[in-house]
């Protein structure tokens, strides 16, 4: 199992990457950690003319806080998110999701931006980014645009990213309210894709009511799903058991699972509901315990 032949280039500067992308468009594939791209190349599901390795471009890795955002360089490895323990209390859902991505060896190579752009419907970061209301910084030779995670995932392996664009950063707004979140994932074995997973992130206002709620669902549709009706039903409410159960029911209804070897559609939809319910309880508890 080997990739078909391709040209390879590893530019040292982002400008060069953007210029190459402008030139080659759909014939090019960007290589970051390679943990999704290389299997596709080996199975010959992807056969780009040119592979542009961004591994030598400076400034694409790292997690920092700036202007009310947590900013994650697109080439930041999963393991670096796993180790960013100072995110606890602010973005619990990221810390809970990172160690559940594939296995430790893959997390040593795989990148957050790569995974988001690959947009596997069963990829973990998509659901997480929808839950936290992330924005993606996309650069091209012509300039920069910022797309919200909501609407970015359009179908299996299909996103709003244009062929001449490179994702450089993920920006996650972090307010001053008390927040909490978590990620729940059902997988048959370590390293398998999710049968179902759910990302939950909430912010509580000073009155103890839900100021904002984010719910992302993984592996229950053609792309990562934002459970908007469930989110809306939670906002402004006191997070009682009934409110949470009602929100979880709406989240389950937002799921569009297909039956496969991992389970029936009915089963997966109910797992989504249960995960969101459990996730909301954990998120609320964490937010209530958090310092504003």
Partner 1 sequence: MAVETAEATEAARQAMGGIGVSLARKEDARFIHGQGHYVDDVVLPGMLHMVIVRSPHAHARIKGIDSSAAMAIPGVIAVVTGELLAQHNLAWMPTLSGDTQAVLATDKVRFQGQEVACVIAETKYIAEDAAALVSVDYEPLQAITTPQQAIEPGAIVIRDEKEGQTDNKIYHWEAGDKDATDAAFARAAKVVSLETFYPRCHPAPLETCGCVADLDPVTGNATIYMTSQAPHAHRTLFAIVAGLPEEKIRIISPDLGGGFGNKVPIYPGYVVATAASLLIGRPVKWIEDRTDNLISTGFARDYYMDGSVAIDDSGKFIGLRVNLPATTGHSSRMRNRASSRPASSTS
Partner 2 sequence: MKVTFEINGAEKSVDVEPRTLVVDLIRTKLGMTGTHIGCDTSNCGACTVLLDGRPVKSCTLLAPMLEGKKVTTVEGLAKGGKLDSIQVGFHEEHGLQCGFCTPGMMLVGKALIEANPHPTEDEIRWGISGNICRCTGYMNIVKAIQHAAAANATENTAGVA
Residue (of 72, 186, 77) closest to 137 by Cα position: 72
Report the alpha-carbon distance of residue 10 to residue 182 in Å, rounded.
Answer: 37
Contacting partner 2 within 50-69 (CB under 8 A):
51, 53, 55-56
Site size for partner 1 (CB under 8 A): 5
CA dihedral 210, 177, 196, 255 (to 10 degrees): 40
44 binds partner 2 (CB under 8 A): no
- From the list partner 2, partner 1, none, partner contacted by residue 191 (C-beta under 5 to 8 A by kind): partner 2
Q: Cα(278)–Cα(211) distance, rounded to whole angstroms?
A: 19
Give the DSSP per-residue string, 226-246. Answer: E-HHHHHHHTTS---HHHHHH
Q: Report, in Å, the least distance between residue 44 CB and partner 1.
A: 7
Per DSSP, 157 falls in state: T
Site string for partner 1, 22-61 (x = CB under 8 A): ----------------------x-----------------
Distance CA 26, CA 49 (A): 9
- Nearer of residues 8 and 88 to partner 1, judged by Cβ: 8
Binding mask 180-219 for partner 2 (x = CB under 8 A): ----------xx----------------------------
Distance CA 127, CA 150 (A): 10
Site string for partner 2, 91-130 (x = CB under 8 A): -----------xxxxx-xx---------------------
Residue 190 binds to partner 1 (criterion: CB under 8 A): no
Q: How far apart are CA 161 and CA 217, in angstroms?
A: 21
Q: Which of 112, 54, 50, 49 has its CA nearest to residue 83?
A: 112
Residues of this chain that interact with partner 2 (CB under 8 A) are 1-8, 10, 31, 34-35, 38-39, 41-43, 51, 53, 55-56, 79, 102-106, 108-109, 190-191
Residues of this chain that interact with partner 1 (CB under 8 A) are 1-2, 4-5, 44
């Amino acid at each position: 199992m080997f990739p078909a032949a391709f040209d390879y280039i590893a530019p040292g500067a982002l400008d060069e990457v953007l210029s190459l992308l402008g030139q080659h468009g759909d014939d090019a594939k960007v290589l970051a950690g390679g943990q999704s791209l290389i299997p596709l190349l080996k199975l010959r599901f992807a056969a780009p003319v040119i592979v542009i390795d961004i591994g030598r471009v400076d400034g694409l890795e790292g997690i920092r806080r700036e202007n009310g955002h947590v900013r994650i360089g697109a080439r930041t490895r999963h393991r670096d998110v796993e180790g960013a323990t100072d995110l606890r209390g602010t973005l619990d859902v990221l810390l809970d999701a990172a160690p559940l991505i594939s296995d430790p060896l893959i997390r040593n190579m795989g990148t957050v931006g790569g995974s988001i752009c690959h947009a596997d419907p069963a990829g973990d970061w998509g659901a997480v980014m929808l839950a936290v209301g992330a924005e993606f910084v996309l650069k091209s030779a012509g300039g920069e645009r910022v797309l919200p995670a909501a609407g970015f995932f359009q179908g299996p392996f299909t996103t709003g990213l244009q062929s001449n664009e490179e994702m450089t950063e993920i920006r996650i707004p972090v307010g001053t309210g008390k927040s909490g979140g978590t990620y729940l994932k059902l997988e048959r074995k370590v390293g398998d894709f999710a049968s179902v997973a759910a990302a939950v992130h909430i912010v509580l206002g000073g009155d103890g009511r839900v100021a904002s709620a984010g719910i992302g669902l993984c592996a229950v549709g053609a792309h990562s799903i934002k459970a908007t009706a469930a989110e809306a039903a939670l906002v402004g409410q006191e997070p009682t058991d009934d409110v949470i159960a009602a929100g979880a029911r709406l989240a389950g209804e937002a799921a569009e699972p297909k039956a496969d070897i991992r389970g029936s559609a009915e089963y997966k939809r109910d797992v989504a509901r249960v995960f969101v319910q459990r996730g909301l309880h954990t998120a609320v508890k964490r937010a209530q315990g958090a310092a504003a």
